[in-house]
Amino acid sequence: MKKRIPLLTVIVSISAVLLTRKKVKAPTAAASTGRIPAGSLLFSPIGKRESKYVGHVGIVTEDQHVIHSVPAGIIKDPLKLYEQKFRLIERYAPHDLSAGIKAAEFADHLHQTYPRALYRIRTPLDAKPSEQYCTKIVWQAYKEGAGLNIRALPSKSMAVHPYLLKSSRLFKRVSSD
């Protein structure tokens, strides 16, 4: 005579197995390749060294560096160094990857042309690339490089906080520390 396992025992056993399994998130493209898409924006509420201001943003280049503006000028840090300098980083990737590449290329152009740009927060977004701050360089990279005005900010806006660049229309939040 065959032993029959009561249906309730089977259901309880299967439920226990399913409930104890750890859920694993599928890796993102950046996680599986180890690369962050060019044009991604890295936001940090507090800088450790060069930027003492509350709120900072940098833009990732194709060669996995981050271009950002600090009182010393426009700098290009390797991604790992940037992550050491700033904490609580939130990463926003561009929806349009080709626009991100164009923006990153323009940011690189600004870095090469104006490495000693004066750090001036009270300058209009569209004025004097020789005067920069972190939000302005990222806005100019997308406006001039990719033809996209992040958050449709007026070009004469001054002292724009980095967090105003978070635009769900152009970017998607990918991760945070």
42-66 residue pLDDT tens? 998 765 555 444 589 999 999 999 9
- Tell whether 29 is covered by a domain: no
Three-state secondary structure along the chain? Answer: CCCCCCHHHHHHHHHHHHHHCCCCCCCCHHHHHCCCCCCCEEEEEEECCCCCCEEEEEEECCCCEEEEEECCEEEEEEHHHHHHHEECCEEEEECCHHHHHHHHHHHHHHHHHCCCCEECCCCCCCCCCCEECHHHHHHHHHHHHHCCCHHHCCCCCCCCCHHHHCCCCCEEEEEEC
Residue 5 is assigned to a structural domain of this protein: no
137-161: pLDDT as tens digits: 999 999 999 999 999 999 999 999 9
The pLDDT tens digits of the residues spanning 17-31 come to 333 333 333 333 344
Percentage of residues of the chain with pLDDT beyond 90? 64
Residue 73 in any domain: the answer is yes
**Tokens at residue 161, please?**
């906080």
* CATH number of the domain to which 44 belongs: 3.90.1720.10
Its domain, for residue 154, covers 34-176
Which carries the bigger pLDDT value, residue 163 or residue 114?
114
Q: What is the pTM of this model?
A: 0.77
Residue 19 domain-assigned? no
> How many folded domains does the chain comprise?
1
Whether residue 13 lies inside any domain: the answer is no
